[in-house]
């Protein structure tokens, strides 16, 4: 075998090395041993990459076959029925399914077509779930019995981010070495939504490891922005954002650890919501999960309109199902009192968080929203975060990158990365002295935010603890400030800029996502509304 051959060669080289008497020959022996090791590593890497390339080809073929199958299935719906279903919003479709005016089978077939139309434009899909058609037909059969009570979301199609567990479907996180990971059960939110009648009908694209905010991987390629193919759809729920904005799905499930729901929503133009992390569960997520315990990922919905998001969360939190499966999830019911007609709120707003100023367009939309909400009778007051975001950033960079990039480097080793994703590995392989050099360089240039990003990264336990303490202090300060100023909620820019070119997110520091990552560090719920 390859491993035994490597062992034998190394042993022979070591024996030859220690048998040499002359220092000159000893040095040559060291060089030869090092060169041999590198050649063996290169051969092993080539073998692994060849294996991964073969598995990628299998997955790509499987996706293509499922897509072609769905193209045939969607043509079985007549044009009049198709147009009628396509014209319905979330509430209208839900009511039509409840009343029996449309069938779950017809709806699923129509949404195959809508999703494929979006995919042809943006490359947003990783899979069409064939089982969804069988589920829809079975639900229609049950509905024929008079004693059958339809669940609240009977027959409603839902798209799912590829990194979220769906029973029997690939869950690779965009990493080739995980391509054959097939979950044996749904994630708890998917379980709950299924029990309420929803049908997962497709899976959507993600970036490699889900730890960046562009959308590209070696398995399924690059997802483009529906408004411009040269721009990113955002990440890591980039496929969901592109699908929603292209009207390929009414509602989808994504996840968020630093803005992965909100950035795609902002870039592509849809709604998205990140709950606070203890409302959902991470028990089924692939280990290790980076950035814990400071930034904890959470699943959450993306949709074409905010009313659909409200209905999905109302369904998920209508009972204690998730907390019954995960004792670490807080058993809190949906807050119906927050939606009482005529309730007025005191809303704090800002156009800059004091860390990095958003571009003028991102600030302008806040000012427009302020006037709109004032017109609805809400009280809008200026709100300043002071240095809370800056201090949070320093705490974050001291903790989330405390291993010096070893964990992500291990995951990305031998991964066939595209030019878009290659800088992600290059950054994690950067040694600490180089990071310190760039930190002082940017400090001399007057870029304090980027300087902090490089200089705050720590390896000492005492520095990590200081970073954690700094974040908890910022949480206390924010909560106290909101209490003192009687603020019910905060209105602010969703991101610092519109959609970026595909490669840019991996070429600039994480400072660019502090506008979203700040709320993950604070463990606040946060969302984007269009």
- Catalytic, out of 260, 315, 352, 494: 260
> Per the omega criterion (within 30 degrees of 0), is the bond before 410 cis?
no
Give the pairing of strands 157-161 and 216-217.
unpaired
What residues are paired with 301 via a beta bridge? Answer: 253
67: Cβ–Cβ under 8 A, 6 or more apart, which residues? 116, 119, 125, 128
SS3 for 59? Answer: helix
Question: Residue 496's closest CA among 393, 381, 375, 399?
Answer: 393
Question: Residue 91's closest CA among 83, 99, 82?
Answer: 99
Question: Residue 193's closest CA among 147, 240, 132?
Answer: 132
- Catalytic, out of 187, 236, 237, 494: 236
- Burial (Cβ within 10 Å: 0-12, 13-18, ≥19) of residue 529: middle
- Catalytic, out of 132, 161, 265, 323: 161
> Terminus-to-terminus CA distance in the chain, angstroms?
58
Cα 448 to Cα 456: distance, rounded to the nearest angstrom: 11
Residue pair 257/287 in contact by the 8 Å Cβ criterion: no
Q: Which pair of structure tokens corresponds to residue 203?
A: 């899976």
Say what the alpha-carbon torsion angle 327, 331, 334, 340 is, to the nearest 10 degrees.
-160
The question of whether 236 is a catalytic residue gets the answer yes
The question of whether 61 is a catalytic residue gets the answer no
The question of whether 324 is a catalytic residue gets the answer no
What residues are paired with 526 via a beta bridge? Answer: 274
Question: Residue 154's closest CA among 112, 122, 196?
Answer: 196
Residue pair 161/125 in contact by the 8 Å Cβ criterion: no
| HEC per residue, 375-437 | HCCCEEEECCCCCHHHHHHHHHHHHCCCCCCHHHHHHHCCCCCCCCCHHHHHHHHCCHHHHHH
Count Cβ atoms below 10 Å from residue 486 Cβ, excluding itself.
Answer: 10
Which residues are known catalytic residues?
Answer: 161, 236, 260
């Amino acid at each position: 075998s390859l491993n035994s051959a490597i062992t034998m060669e190394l042993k022979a080289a070591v024996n030859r090395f220690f048998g040499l008497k002359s220092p000159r020959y000893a040095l040559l022996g060291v060089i030869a041993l090092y060169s041999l090791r590198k050649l063996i590593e290169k051969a092993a890497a080539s073998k692994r990459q060849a294996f991964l390339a073969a598995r990628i080809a299998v997955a790509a073929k499987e996706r293509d076959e499922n897509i072609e199958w769905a193209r045939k299935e969607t043509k079985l719906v007549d044009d009049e029925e198709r147009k009628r279903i396509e014209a319905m919003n979330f509430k209208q479709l839900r009511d039509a399914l409840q009343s029996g005016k449309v069938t779950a089978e017809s709806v699923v077939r129509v949404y195959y077509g809508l999703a494929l139309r979006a995919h042809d434009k943006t490359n947003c899909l990783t899979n069409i779930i064939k089982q969804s058609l069988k589920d829809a037909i079975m639900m229609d059969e049950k509905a024929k019995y008079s004693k059958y009570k339809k669940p609240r979301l009977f027959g409603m199609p839902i798209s799912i981010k590829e990194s979220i567990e769906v029973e029997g479907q690939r869950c690779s996180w965009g990493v080739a070495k995980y391509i054959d990971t097939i979950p044996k059960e749904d994630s708890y939110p998917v379980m709950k939504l299924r029990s309420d009648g929803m049908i997962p009908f497709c899976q959507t694209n993600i970036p490699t490891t889900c730890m960046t905010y562009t959308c590209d991987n070696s398995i399924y390629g690059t997802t483009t922005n529906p408004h411009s193919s040269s721009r990113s759809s955002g990440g890591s729920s980039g496929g969901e954002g592109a699908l929603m904005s292209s009207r390929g799905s009414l509602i989808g499930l994504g996840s968020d650890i630093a803005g992965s729901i909100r950035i795609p929503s902002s870039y592509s133009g849809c709604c998205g919501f990140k709950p606070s992390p203890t409302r959902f569960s991470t028990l089924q997520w692939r280990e290790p999960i980076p950035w814990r315990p400071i930034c904890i990922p959470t699943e959450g919905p993306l949709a074409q309109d905010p009313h659909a998001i409200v209905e999905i969360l109302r369904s998920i939190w209508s009972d204690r199902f998730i907390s019954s499966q995960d004792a670490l999830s807080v058993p809190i019911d949906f807050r119906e009192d927050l939606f009482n007609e005529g309730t007025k709120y005191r809303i704090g707003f800002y156009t800059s968080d004091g860390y990095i100023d958003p571009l003028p367009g991102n600030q302008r939309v806040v000012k427009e929203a302020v006037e709109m909400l004032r017109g609805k009778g809400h009280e809008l007051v200026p709100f300043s975060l002071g240095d809370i975001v800056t201090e949070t950033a320093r705490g974050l960079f001291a903790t989330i990158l405390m291993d010096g990039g070893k964990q992500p480097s291990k995951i990305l080793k031998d991964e066939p990365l595209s030019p878009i994703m290659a800088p992600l590995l290059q950054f994690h392989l950067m040694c600490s002295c180089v990071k310190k050099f760039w930190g002082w360089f940017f400090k001399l240039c007057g870029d304090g935010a980027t300087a902090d990003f490089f200089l705050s990264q720590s390896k000492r336990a005492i520095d990590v603890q200081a970073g954690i303490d700094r974040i908890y202090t910022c949480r206390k300060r924010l909560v106290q400030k909101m209490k003192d100023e009687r603020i019910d909620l905060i209105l602010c820019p969703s991101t610092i800029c519109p959609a970026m070119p595909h490669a840019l997110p991996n070429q600039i520091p994480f400072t660019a996502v502090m506008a979203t990552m700040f709320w993950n560090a604070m463990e606040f719920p946060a969302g984007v509304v269009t």
